Structure 1
């Protein structure tokens, strides 16, 4: 990359646009779209670092957008983890029955769900 300020501004504008696309994808839950944008975002950030642009208002605004998107991504990951935990709990409930005997001891009854289909004429 050259030291041309116009080239640097083009990189800043592209990264700004990409961060907005990433934000939209995060807000609608388009995880595939987020993954596709990651490579392009990394390449633009590397190009900006190579250009040696020290700072300024443009970089500060980009930094704010990166922080905002990271918070959105963290929230999405937390939601995914919670859903995975709930699904694991539901699977456990389907496989076992926990009950207590007359003296208050917990008893776990293992069960297997049999999915059978009977055809009748």
Structure 2
């Protein structure tokens, strides 16, 4: 049996993973992760040439960069939401003498609905 079917399946999976990353489909990524692990285990048991490994390495590197950027974006959104929540609760300002003071927002007893 040759390595070609497994390497081809992994190349196809890497393309699907790239598409999922570009579309922000994180549910699909978790499904692909299990399949990728199984294919990686199958490849570990077979001798591979540099010609077989090069496109896989490039695809893995490309997807890792996309994943890192996606995670950075998620962290930025989370930080921004935290900033907005803090601003809703209180605002920091400075008086005429340059002294910092916090203005607390009035407590709301109203239930906020979000879509």
Confirm or deny a common fold (TM above 0.5). yes
Select the structure of larger CA radius of gyration. Answer: 1
Q: For the Cα contact (< 8 Å) 1:15–1:41, is it kept in 2?
A: yes
| 1:64–1:113 distance in 2 versus 1, CA, 3 Å | same
1:17 correspondence with 2:7: no
**Aligned CA-pair RMSD:** 1.5
Deviations 1:56-89 (A, max 9, x none): 3121111100000001111100100111111110
Instruction: Tell me the equivalent position of 1:72.
Output: 66
Instruction: Tell me the equivalent position of 1:27.
Output: 22
Give runs of aligned pairs for residues 39-78 of structure 1, distance below 5 A: 39-51=34-46, 53-78=47-72
Following the alignment from structure 2 to structure 1, what is the Cα–Cα distance between the partners of residues 27 and 107?
34
| 1:48–1:112 distance in 2 versus 1, CA, 3 Å | farther
User: How far apart are residue 112 of structure 1 and its match?
Assistant: 4.0
User: How far apart are residue 109 of structure 1 and its match?
Assistant: 2.1
Instruction: Tell me the equivalent position of 1:82.
Output: 76
How many residue pairs get matched?
A: 111
Secondary structure in 1 matching 2:45: helix
User: How far apart are residue 115 of structure 1 and its match?
Assistant: 4.5
The TM-score, its normalising length taken from structure 2, stands at 0.88
